[in-house]
Amino acid sequence: MSRKSKCAIILTAGFILSRIYLYHLGIRLNTTTLSWFYQFLDPIDLRTNLFQSLYYLHIQPPGFNLFIGLILKLPPHLINTAFSAVYIVSGFLITLSLFLLINELSNSPIIALIFSLFFCISPPVILYENWLFYTYPVALLLLLSTLFLYAYLQNRSGTNLFIFFSIIMLIVITRSLFHIIWFIAIFIFVLSIAKEKSRVIALALFPLLFVSTLYIKNYLIFKEPGLSSWLGMSLIKMTTTIPEKKIIPLIKNGAVSRIALIPPFRSPDLYKDFANFDTCTQIPVLDKKYKSTGFVNFNHIGYLKVSRLYFKSALSLIEKFPRYYLLSVLKAGYHYLRPCSDEVIFRTENRKRIIAWVDIYENFLTGDILEGLWHRTYQNRYGREKVFHFNFLYIFIPFIFIWAFLVVFQRINIPGLNRNKLIVLRYLLFNMLYVTLLSSFIEAGENMRFRFLILPGFYIFLSLLVKYLTGPKPLKHKSSL
């Protein structure tokens, strides 16, 4: 038996034992998100009228709501089990995929085992794996796309390339952060490195057409150019650094809507002066102000106008006060550099049950212990108290990015990194930069949740650093006199 196979068996055993232990601790998949998360349609509509509901979904791409709807059609006593099974299997697949990629790129099963095993027992992975949301599945899909791209480069199999483009398609129809432009950029990248370009075009055609059809559908029905109508409600958050006293004169002279001073994602009653919430389209997901669970239905057709007003106001304010927008980008960067397991995201029983491990991870591994040395407390425009402090990630994340650039552009010579591996690493770095930059420029709040999507990428580049530091150095040729 090869060393790779032995390490894979140890990794599998470690994953299974860790999940048994977590179950013993009381860790369970948190499905309370079904009732109140903004991104989800009413569970009753998903169960009883799935395809009409998805057709008129405008707040999010349809992928994850489709997944939820299909599971909800199961007998009630099987629903939680089915959700849990999907997430456990996803956890194993993401762990195994990380192992396979690190092993292929570093040629070291031991390094691959160490990094993958730590990854699967780290607090962020435990918490996201037990949270019914699209973050964990999308992180898996991104890693699988990297794996299948590498498989295609190795054997030039059309099947692997079609699976790669299909995974890219699934990412776009699941997470609005990944726009069709992202898909097209990747398609052009693969086309540029392929010898059989007509074959690449043929294999990418169906996934790209499917995504394009959804975009066209949303534009024809809602006049929305994307798969989510929330850009305005997200972008207005980037203006909360602007003092209210600077905005009020603009409202008085009509340059900016009064909605700019109302926090986004609020109940219909707060927006009754801006949009019609007494519609009668005869389509439940567009007419309901509230879901059957009692929480706001943000897919109500009235929120389309609300988000557009926010978008227009946000653009005006950003144009007039670019310095404050830059401050918001820096604030987004601060959130991005928070631990992925931050209590801003997780305030659940699962976090409490592993709080000792979370504290060790966040205080000593990611550096929250520095809060005791220096921190600053402030209140935002809405009177919410915030704490600002540094951690180790302020140094570590930029360092990994610098290291990644040195590797992919061959400023560092790592033995065994051939053309195919460098292409995969460039694809990986592209996705890391895409998520980092786009999320920081359009959203300030849960940016550490966005970083989890690319967390495996940081592990991969760090593993190459360990390989470089511990492995044999390439011989330097002496010039003859």
Between the CA of residue 262 and those of 55, 240, 244, what are the distances in Å?
A: 30, 10, 11
User: Are 435 and 451 spatial neighbours (Cβ–Cβ below 8 Å)?
Assistant: yes
> Which pLDDT score is estimated for 476?
52
Q: How far is CA 475 from the centre of its chain?
A: 41
Percent of the chain exceeding pLDDT 70 equals 96
- Residue 273 per-residue DSSP state: T
What 3-state class would DSSP assign to 58?
coil
- Run of H or E including 221: helix 197-222
Cα separation, 251 vs 232, whole angstroms: 18
Quick check: 477 pLDDT over 60?
no
What 3-state class would DSSP assign to 384?
coil
pTM of the model: 0.96
**Each residue of 145-189: pLDDT tens digit?**
999 999 999 999 999 999 999 999 999 999 999 999 999 999 999
Map tokens 């499905």 to a residue: 31
pLDDT band for position 473 (50/70/90)?
low
- Residue 298 per-residue DSSP state: T
> Which pLDDT score is estimated for 456?
98
**Each residue of 87-122: pLDDT tens digit?**
999 999 999 999 999 999 999 999 999 999 999 999
Which residue, among 203, 107, 81, has the nearest Cα to 149 in the 3D structure? 203
Which residue, among 255, 233, 230, has the nearest Cα to 310 in the 3D structure? 233
Angle between helices 76-106 and 455-470 (to 10 degrees): 30
Any bridge partners for residue 387, and if so which? 377
pLDDT band for position 481 (50/70/90)?
very low
Task: For residue 225, give both structure tokens.
Answer: 């150019």
User: Are 455 and 139 spatial neighbours (Cβ–Cβ below 8 Å)?
Assistant: yes
Cβ-proximal residues to 226 (8 Å cutoff; 6+ apart), any chain: 176, 179, 215, 218
Higher pLDDT, 393 or 347: 393
Task: For residue 4, give both structure tokens.
Answer: 């790779």
- Count of CB atoms within 10 A of residue 330's CB? 12
Cβ-proximal residues to 397 (8 Å cutoff; 6+ apart), any chain: 337, 458
**Each residue of 224-262: pLDDT tens digit?**
999 999 999 999 999 999 999 999 999 999 999 999 999
Quick check: 480 pLDDT over 50?
no
Cα separation, 339 vs 319, whole angstroms: 32
Cβ burial of 211 (10 Å; 0-12, 13-18, 19+) is buried
**Each residue of 353-404: pLDDT tens digit?**
999 999 999 999 999 999 888 888 866 666 667 778 889 999 999 999 999 9
- Count of CB atoms within 10 A of residue 276's CB? 12
Percent of the chain exceeding pLDDT 90 equals 91
User: Are 279 and 287 spatial neighbours (Cβ–Cβ below 8 Å)?
Assistant: yes
**Each residue of 25-45: pLDDT tens digit?**
999 999 999 999 999 999 999
Size of the chain, expressed as the number of residues it contains:
481
Cβ-proximal residues to 17 (8 Å cutoff; 6+ apart), any chain: none
Higher pLDDT, 129 or 1: 129
Cα separation, 469 vs 455, whole angstroms: 21
Cα separation, 316 vs 255, whole angstroms: 8
Cβ burial of 140 (10 Å; 0-12, 13-18, 19+) is buried
Angle between helices 197-222 and 180-193 (to 10 degrees): 170
